[in-house]
Amino acid sequence: MIYFFDGTKSGFLTAFLHAFDDPDALLTSKKAQLTLGQTPVFIQTDESKAARALQRLRSFDCEFEHDLDFLLRSGMENNEQIAFRYVRFLAKIKRPIRNQLAESDVFAAVECMKKIGLEIHHFHGFIRFMETQSGVLYAPFSPDNDICDLLVPHFRARLPQYPFVLHDVKRKTAAVYDGKNYFIAPLDKADVLLSADETEWQALWKKYYNAVNIPSRERLKQMRGFMPVRYWKFMPEKQ
Amino acid sequence: MFDFLIFICYNSVMITQEKLTILTESAKYDVSCSSSGSNRKNTGGIGNGYVSGCCHSFTPDGRCISLLKILLSNDCIYNCKYCPNRLDADVPRATATPDEICELVIDFYKRNYIEGLFLSSAVCKNPDYTMERLLLTVKKLRTEYHFQGYIHLKGIPRADSLLMQEAAKYADRMSYNIELPSEQSLKLLAPQKSKESLLLPMKELTQQKIRFTEEKRKGQYKGHFLPAGQTTQMIIGASPERDGQILRLTQSLYRKMDMKRVYYSSYVPIVRDSLLPDIPAGQLREHRLYQADWLLRFYGFTVEELLTENENLSTEFDPKCAWALKNMHLFPVEINRAPLELLLRVPGIGAKNAHKILTARRYAVLSFEDLAKMRVALKRAKHFITCNGKFFGAKNENAVRGLLAAAETQDSAQQMDLFHLLSTPQNALISLHGQL
Ligand code: SF4
């Protein structure tokens, strides 16, 4: 049976309670996963049930909430199903399971979380800010996973005096830091007026990028392996 | 109008594209680019350290860009035979001002292009003058531009030791390059440098760091002193030393000088000279040296176990395989019981997988299938392990040899790709976690 929920954490936990005993359960919030011929159950989110489930799961594993948060942020097609199988296994074993890597449900969840951790690390490096006329630094990007807000602490710690905007253009959402506080806001399109020097600095950066390369040792496959092509769109040196 | 003037003044320190290109081209053959090891905190100003290091871009040669790697000047009074910037060479020369470098760093850094600065210089006018300019640049960057990101500074041999000591208070890491693996080669190819002039400053910095750490502990000193330590680099294949000799030097640098990293740079003939070989050193050789280097640092091997002074590393097998084949009496080891030190010595099992196995076997007796499920690479390892008493490898030593050689050829395309990034933090991670 397919259990269709609203994509929220509470929605997931409600669906989890419904699906627990169903050996063929499939949890999803993505319309694309509704295959023809299968009638889904539409799950009505129940906050109080969800809260109780959460409390119980937390008593099995105090870091459970972090894992669930990560799994639901994943951009993988079947991330919610991976989360479901992981949580169901946790509910059966009743103590932390993340080290039981020989279990395929655990392994899949751990790999999924690792991918998110890796993408966060990637974007600590691959984010590209441009300076706007007002001095705000603006960085559009398009991550695989929903990690926009998770990048804020890193940049805030290093650029405390610079207001910045991290704009996930795929999910149309932005993390905004105003020099003191930060908040998340929906953002479809940003009108950006560049500062007077911005293009000049970008040109210098491109010069640097080309000059530091050693052409006789070309290894394009390797470059792409470390810096996936889908990230290039927002990097001036790759334009 | 007044605003406009200020604007012009500010702009006047933007380095020109031409100068940037010359000073970058001259610096790019240096291999070390790691930005790890500093945990400098932001206390106002701009920037901080990133303990594990961070790559900001990758160039088509597959190398990571972490630091802005640049020379303050490429105008050299020395004549090292292998160097494109040597006195006799006919190349365009440029010298940047400290402010040009500082502006460049700040503007690149705030756009998140770089993790910090790797500043070096040719010997311009004389060693003291050059070191003074380098010191002035990093001091300005820290105190006037309030930059707290990563700074790696190259030391100039034969410069006044007080200048060096002062610079160490502003830089995260310093390096004096050993350049060539023996004194004879140094005499021949870099006549103005001597072993003493390179080793002495390293020794002094090591001792001073101990002193400053002690004073800091007692509360007598507040600042930093090379939080990310020292590294060094040598050119491989320009001179006749064997791997055994090179790795003995490496081991003593790690033990006696507390080096964080030793980098190997395979020789590229950019310059023609009768004293230099015409062909580049094999990149496989550099790869093998890095593999052996990892074994020394993270796998508990000593150089004496790996090879004799006059030997080269095997081209056919990676150093760990080569060692295991010489020590077949120690294998197979039982995966469910072997201590970490022994797991680490199994060919094909890297540090990350060894730890994975330690964790997983607390919950279950691991079978061969379990290892495969956990994606532990077994192509090599299976000849050296038993899983719950069962052995899945080849029956005799000759068969093992053949299969390992085949695995090596199969992987060689991939490996040749891998080796070149061993000097990047990203790759450091991969090697640490991956299969060695
Ligand atoms: S000192 Fe030697 S290696 Fe350094 S720039 Fe001058 S000639 Fe080149």
- Same-domain pairing of A96 and A143: no
- Same-domain pairing of A132 and A163: yes
Question: Are B46 and A158 an interchain contact pair (Cβ–Cβ within 8 Å)?
Answer: yes
Per the CB < 8 A criterion, the answer to whether B57 and A237 are in contact is yes
Residue A144: band (very low, low, confident or very high) from pLDDT cuts 50, 70, 90? very high
- Tell me what pLDDT residue B67 has: 93
Give the lowest-confidence range in A197-201, B15-19, B20-24, B313-317: B313-317
Query: What does the block give as tokens for B159?
Result: 């410069």
- Tell me what pLDDT residue B12 has: 56
Q: How far is the CA of B91 from the centre of ligand 1 (A)?
A: 13
Q: What is the CA radius of gyration of chain A?
A: 21
Per the CB < 8 A criterion, the answer to whether A199 and B13 are in contact is no
Question: Are A201 and B111 an interchain contact pair (Cβ–Cβ within 8 Å)?
Answer: yes
CA of A150, closest CA in chain B: separation in Å? 16
Q: Is the pLDDT reported for residue A59 higher than 60? A: yes
Q: Tell me the HSE value of B98 on the side-chain side, using a 13 A CA sphere.
A: 16
Of the candidates B179, B174, B160, the residue with the CA atom closest to the CA atom of residue B238 = B179
CA of B199, closest CA in chain A: separation in Å? 29
CA of B170, closest CA in chain A: separation in Å? 18
Average pLDDT over residues B140-159: 94
- Same-domain pairing of A101 and A143: no
- What are B152-176's pLDDT values in tens digits? 999 999 999 999 999 999 999 999 9
Per the CB < 8 A criterion, the answer to whether B69 and B201 are in contact is no
pLDDT > 90: percent of chain B = 50
Average pLDDT over residues A62-81: 94
Place of tokens 């081991």: B251
Q: How far is the CA of B122 from the centre of ligand 1 (A)?
A: 5
CB of residue B83 inside a 6 A radius of ligand 1:
yes
Question: Are B15 and A204 an interchain contact pair (Cβ–Cβ within 8 Å)?
Answer: yes
- What are B364-402's pLDDT values in tens digits? 899 999 898 888 888 889 999 999 999 988 878 888 888
Q: How far is CA A137 from the centre of its chain?
A: 21
- What are A161-176's pLDDT values in tens digits? 999 999 999 999 999 9
**Helices A198-212, B98-110: crossing angle, 10 deg rounding:** 100
Q: Is the pLDDT reported for residue B273 higher than 80? A: no
- Same-domain pairing of A78 and A108: yes
- Same-domain pairing of A6 and A112: yes
Average pLDDT over residues B401-418: 68
Residue B413: band (very low, low, confident or very high) from pLDDT cuts 50, 70, 90? low
* Last residue within a domain, chosen from A118, A137, A165: A118
Question: Are B268 and A220 an interchain contact pair (Cβ–Cβ within 8 Å)?
Answer: no
Residue B417: band (very low, low, confident or very high) from pLDDT cuts 50, 70, 90? very low
Place of tokens 């009496």: B329
- Same-domain pairing of A216 and A108: no
**Contacts of residue B62, Cβ cutoff 8 Å, sequence gap at least 6:** A217, A219, A220, A221, A222, A223, A226, B417, B420, B421
Query: What 3-state DSSP class applies to A46?
Result: coil
Residue B27: band (very low, low, confident or very high) from pLDDT cuts 50, 70, 90? confident
Query: What 3-state DSSP class applies to A85?
Result: helix
Query: What does the block give as tokens for B65?
Result: 């860009």
A193 phi, psi to nearest 5 deg: -100, 115
When the pLDDT of each residue in chain B is averaged and rounded to a whole number, the result is: 85
Is the preceding peptide bond at B332 cis, omega within 30 degrees of 0? yes
- Same-domain pairing of A132 and A70: no
Per the CB < 8 A criterion, the answer to whether A28 and A76 are in contact is no
Place of tokens 């001597």: B194
d(C-alpha B100, C-alpha B140), whole Å? 11
Return the number of other C-beta atoms located less than 10 Å from residue B404's C-beta.
23
**Domain that includes residue A148, residue range:** 127-238
Q: Which protein residue has the closest C-alpha to ligand 1 atom 5?
A: B122
CB burial class (10 A; 0-12, 13-18, 19+) of residue A84? buried
- pTM for this structure? 0.86
B73 phi, psi to nearest 5 deg: -155, 150
- Same-domain pairing of A13 and A114: yes
Give the lowest-confidence range in A29-38, A200-209, B111-120: A29-38
Q: Total structural domains in chain A? A: 2
Partners of residue B363 in chain A, C-beta under 8 Å: 99-100, 102
d(C-alpha B137, C-alpha A234), whole Å? 32
Which DSSP letter does residue A194 get? B
- Same-domain pairing of A137 and A81: no
Query: What does the block give as tokens for A215?
Result: 């052409």
d(C-alpha B230, C-alpha B175), whole Å? 5
- Same-domain pairing of A96 and A145: no
* Last residue within a domain, chosen from A90, A118, A146: A118
Domains by residue range for chain B, with CATH: 7-299 (3.20.20.70), 319-433 (no CATH)
CB of residue B78 inside a 6 A radius of ligand 1:
yes
Q: How far is the CA of A67 from the centre of ligand 1 (A)?
A: 53
ipTM score of the complex?
Answer: 0.92
The CA-atom distances, in angstroms, between A32 and each of A28, A77, A78, B308 are: 9, 9, 11, 63
Q: Give the dihedral of Cα atoms B361, B362, B365, B367; nearest 10 deg.
A: -20
d(C-alpha B295, C-alpha B290), whole Å? 9
B31 phi, psi to nearest 5 deg: -85, -25
- Same-domain pairing of A137 and A225: yes
Question: Which is the closest atom of ligand 1 to the Cα of B76?
Answer: 6
CA of B17, closest CA in chain A: separation in Å? 6
When the pLDDT of each residue in chain A is averaged and rounded to a whole number, the result is: 93
d(C-alpha B397, C-alpha B155), whole Å? 50
* Last residue within a domain, chosen from A84, A118, A152: A118
- What are B161-218's pLDDT values in tens digits? 999 999 999 999 999 988 888 888 888 888 888 888 889 999 999 999 999 889 988 8
- Same-domain pairing of A82 and A131: no
Query: What does the block give as tokens for B126?
Result: 């004389």
Q: Which residue of B has its CA nearest to A131?
A: B111
Average pLDDT over residues A83-95: 95
Average pLDDT over residues A83-88: 96
Of the candidates A72, A68, A77, A75, the residue with the CA atom closest to the CA atom of residue A31 = A77
- Tell me what pLDDT residue B219 has: 86
Nearest CB to B112 within list A127, A200, A215 = A127
Partners of residue A201 in chain B, C-beta under 8 Å: 107-108, 111
- Tell me what pLDDT residue B267 has: 79
Q: A interface mutation test: which of B3, B33, B36, B61 has the most A CBs within 10 A?
A: B61
